[in-house]
Every structure is written in C-alpha cells, then in structure tokens.
Amino acid sequence: MSRICASLSRVATNLLHRCREKRVVVLLGAGASVEYKAPSTAGLTQAIERVVTADKWTQHTGADAAFATIKNGLQGYLSEPPHFEQIYHCAHELLSMAPPTRGAADEFRPLLYPFLANNTGISKDALRALVDKMAEAIYAEVSAACANNPLSLGPLTNFISTLRANYITRIYTTNYDDFLLQAAPDLYTGFNESPSAGPKRFELDKFNSSRDRHTALYLHGSVHMGFGVPGPDSDIGELLWLDDRKEALKHSSFAGSGVRQMDGTEFSRTAVITGLDKLSRLQQRPLSHFYSALADDLMRADVIFVIGSGLADLHFNTWLKEARSRRPRPPIIFVDWWEHGFWSTSAGGGRKEIEMFHALDIHIASSHDATDLGNGWIIANDGSAAIWEKGFQAFLNAPGPLKHILGKLGH
C-alpha cells in the first residue's frame, strides 16, 4: 500500500509540474532604454552639471562648487571620467562626515565620524542641496525623455505579448522611464490600475496575492513615483504612484529628514534611487516588496532574460547567481550590444563579461563552449544560456529566431 501511495504521489507531482504555468523573469537595465533616447550615463552627468551650475539655489548654497570639487577630485583619482552616480555617492557619503547634532542620541551619531575627517571644505548645506538637486535633475531629465521617444514601441509590445502568451511574465526594471508601460499599459505595477488624478498608495495585500500576474516592477523607483502629504492614506516619506508624469514631477522631491541607518548615518529620500549604495535604499516601501518578489521570482523562473544590463548592481547579481545555481539551471538569455561582437570583447574580460561568467554562470567564452549562429545569436553548447549581441532594438525587430533559441534551451 505504501508503495502504491508513493507511486500515486509521484504521478500527481509530475502532472502538477506539467500543468503548472511556466514563468519568465525579465530584468531590464539601462541598455534597454537608451535606444528610446532615455539619457545615457554620460548624458545624465552632463545634464546634471548644467542644472547644478545654473540653479540659483545651488549657487547660493555652494552646491555648484561642491559638484566641481567632487568631480575634479574623482578625475584625478579614477582612470575613467567620473559619472553622476559616483559624484552623487561621494556627496551623499560626505554628509555623514558632518558633526552630529549636539546632544544627539548614539543611534544618530555616525560611527566613523571620530576616525575620518572631511577635508574638502564643503559645508553640510552645500552637500544637502547638491544631492537634492541631482536627484531632481535625474527625475526631470528622464521624465522629459519619456515624452520624446522617436521609435515605435510596437516591437516591444509584441515581445511582451509573446512572453505573456507562453509564460507568467514578471518584468523588473532598474530604469526610471515608463517606456515599458507605454508598450504594455495593463502590466501590474503594485498600484491600483484604475486611472486616478491623485496619488495612489502601494497595494500591500493585493500585491502579495498577485504573484502570478503579469507585472512591471520598478526596482529603483520611477518617474511616476512621488511623495504625498502625510495623512490617513499615506505615511510621511512614503512613495506613491501618480499616473500623470507632469504631476508626479511636482511631487518628486522630499523636504523632510532622511531614513536612519544602523551605523548612525541616514540616506536621503528620493523618488528615484541613484548612487552606489542602492541596497539600503531598497529597504523602503514599496521597493522592499519589489526586491523580495524579485528574489522569489528568480528562484521559481523557468527562463530568465537579462536585457541591457551592465551588471553593475551587485545586489541583483547575487540573486541572479542564486537562481543559476539551481539544478536544473534555468536557462538565461542575455541581450545587449557589443560593437565588435561578443567574442571579440569577452577576450579582454571587461567588468560586465566577468560578471556574466562568475555571477550568471554563462560559459560562452569561445567556440569550445558555444556556437555562433551567425545571425547575432550565440548559444551555449550545454543548452543553458544564449547571448544576443546586436542590441535591444535589433533583438525586438528580429523576433523570428527567438522561438528557435528557446527551443534549443528546452522551451
């Protein structure tokens, strides 16, 4: 009897597995938006410098000089020109070097303050004005770009529709723009789908019961997120969703205190997460729930797409590595652009290619490991990974081979 029960249990498990809807996780990085004319890293750095230099308040507080001091200091130290996230990080961290308020409790005293000295001569007011203005400028630049996309979103719509027809589709983006929602406006964002003229609060209970819905989740914030007036419908500093980008822009800044961290420092509240220490900023609603869902979805995914990512956010690489350590490994498709082809670039081993090898467990370094199909696709001989090397728009505009690639990967 026990053998019969065990056998029936195995049959039931196999049937459930076959009947279970397959799941796909798509992680979008900056490379997925740059062809829609979202500002590049270099472009944002230049735009921020223009805003900071010209703004009357930053001039009054000395934030313009603070930007120049930090940028010049990094230029003499780094081998590459500094970009806005590095500058923002330095400005934000230098705030921790300001003396604590007299009589402050220990939990509000930055622990490293007695051991480190801020020799820049930049005042706390200048640093505060600088980080605030940089975040505002990023939000404004990306928001403006969302209304000026020169490309058709039809191919992106078709790609998402194809995934949705075959998988529970869970899309996560580290970008702030809304091109994804312009292409597929019915994707669930964690906020009420009904159009509203006012701000909408994160749907905590509904979100937790919606793990099988097709979603678009903004891991680092969005140009649709902003801060509301504290009241029965929201807490102080809580991120809310506004359907109208122009209205969201009006609520993109927060004038209150930051969020306390365990070492006595704090981080500034922003509607878009920037800088190099993003992990601590993910510990706020609703971003903490999005990050938790990402981890869960990656560990349940049947297929993973990583599109336009430089793999610089190490906290995401951690979960991608965990997902790829499962047995059997979920196949991964990496979509990006290499000017001279992937194999020509990977031989030199840039940071992205190193992370692809070590964190994502993609072994496509040579013809011994993979086959170049000659049409932009390279597929691992073990059937666990594939690379598209000609950029996101070219990938969207040549959808035919994807079905063949998925078949080669067991799907």
CA–CA separation, 31 vs 79, rounded Å?
A: 23
Q: 390: which DSSP letter?
A: B
What domains does the chain contain, in order, with CATH numbers? 17-37+150-245+283-408 (3.40.50.1220), 41-148 (no CATH)
Which pLDDT score is estimated for 53?
96
Which pLDDT score is estimated for 6?
52
Which pLDDT score is estimated for 99?
87
Dihedral of alpha carbons 176, 178, 184, 185, sign: positive
Residue 207: closest CA among 198, 217, 197, 199: 217
- CA 238 vs. chain centroid, Å, equals 19
Dihedral of alpha carbons 98, 89, 61, 139, sign: negative
φ, ψ for residue 332 (rounded to 5)?
-125, 140
φ, ψ for residue 305 (rounded to 5)?
-110, 130
CA–CA separation, 2 vs 103, rounded Å?
A: 70
Beta bridge partners of 217: 172
CA–CA separation, 352 vs 161, rounded Å?
A: 29
Kind of pairing, strands 303-307 and 23-28?
parallel
Kind of pairing, strands 215-218 and 168-173?
parallel
Q: How far is CA 389 from CA 57, 90, 326, 340, 410, in A?
A: 45, 34, 26, 9, 21
Which pLDDT score is estimated for 116?
86
CA–CA separation, 68 vs 71, rounded Å?
A: 5
Q: In terms of C-beta density within 10 A (0-12 exposed, 13-18 middle, 19 or more buried), how is residue 73 classed?
A: middle
φ, ψ for residue 169 (rounded to 5)?
-105, 115
* Amino acid making up residue 116: L
Q: 237: which DSSP letter?
A: T
Which pLDDT score is estimated for 51?
97
Per-residue pLDDT of the chain (411 residues), as tens digits, is: 555 555 545 544 444 444 569 999 999 999 999 999 999 999 999 999 999 999 999 999 999 999 999 999 999 899 999 999 999 999 999 988 888 888 889 988 998 888 988 889 999 999 999 999 999 999 999 999 999 999 999 999 999 999 999 999 999 999 999 999 999 999 999 999 999 998 999 999 999 999 999 999 999 999 999 998 766 667 888 999 999 999 999 999 998 888 888 888 889 999 999 999 898 889 899 999 999 999 999 999 999 999 999 999 999 999 999 999 999 999 999 999 999 889 887 655 788 999 999 999 998 877 788 999 989 999 999 999 999 999 999 999 999 999 999 999 988
- What is the four-CA torsion angle of 34, 38, 41, 44, rounded to 10 degrees? 160
Q: 190: which DSSP letter?
A: S
Beta bridge partners of 25: 170, 304
Dihedral of alpha carbons 239, 240, 241, 246, sign: negative
Residue owning tokens 């951690």 = 318
* Amino acid making up residue 188: Y
Which pLDDT score is estimated for 2?
57
CA–CA separation, 251 vs 361, rounded Å?
A: 41
